Amino acid sequence: MDNENRLSEVDSRVRAALIADPAATRRVLAAALADRSKGFARRRYAIASAAAIVLGLGAGVWRWQGTAVSRPATTSLTVTNHGPLIVVEGAEGRRWIVGPAPARRTGGNYVILVPE
């Protein structure tokens, strides 16, 4: 008995389920081959508009995040004069002293002699 040439019952049912209706096949082919150049142009315009809106919103959020995080700079400085020195104090407590360089010390140099 040679059963290889005959289709089994399950195989025939699967093939019957996969065969498309000829009228449905013609409708699908007609829709696929129809001229849609006007619809494509409208879709392209809609896609470009949506992309521009998304880019604009993204730039706005990026710009808003950059300004919201930064703190205003404190510009409160106190400048006082103590003789030849100028002392600048910031509101946060830092202090800068501006003045002439200190004079070089002349003392403190010595020589050691060792007898032979």
Nearest by Cα to 20 from 29, 11, 7: 29
The values of phi and psi at residue 45, to 5°, are -65, -40
Residue 82 DSSP SS3: strand
Answer whether 0.75 is exceeded by the pTM. Answer: no
**How far is CA 103 from each of CA 86, 98, 99, 100, 106, rounded to the nearest angstrom?**
17, 15, 12, 9, 9
| 10-45 pLDDT, tens digit each | 888 888 888 888 898 888 888 888 776 666 777 888
pLDDT for position 22: 87
Query: pLDDT class for 70, splitting at 50, 70, 90?
Result: low
Residue 89 DSSP SS3: strand
Token couple for 68? 């919201």
Most confident of the following: 32-41, 85-94, 96-105: 85-94
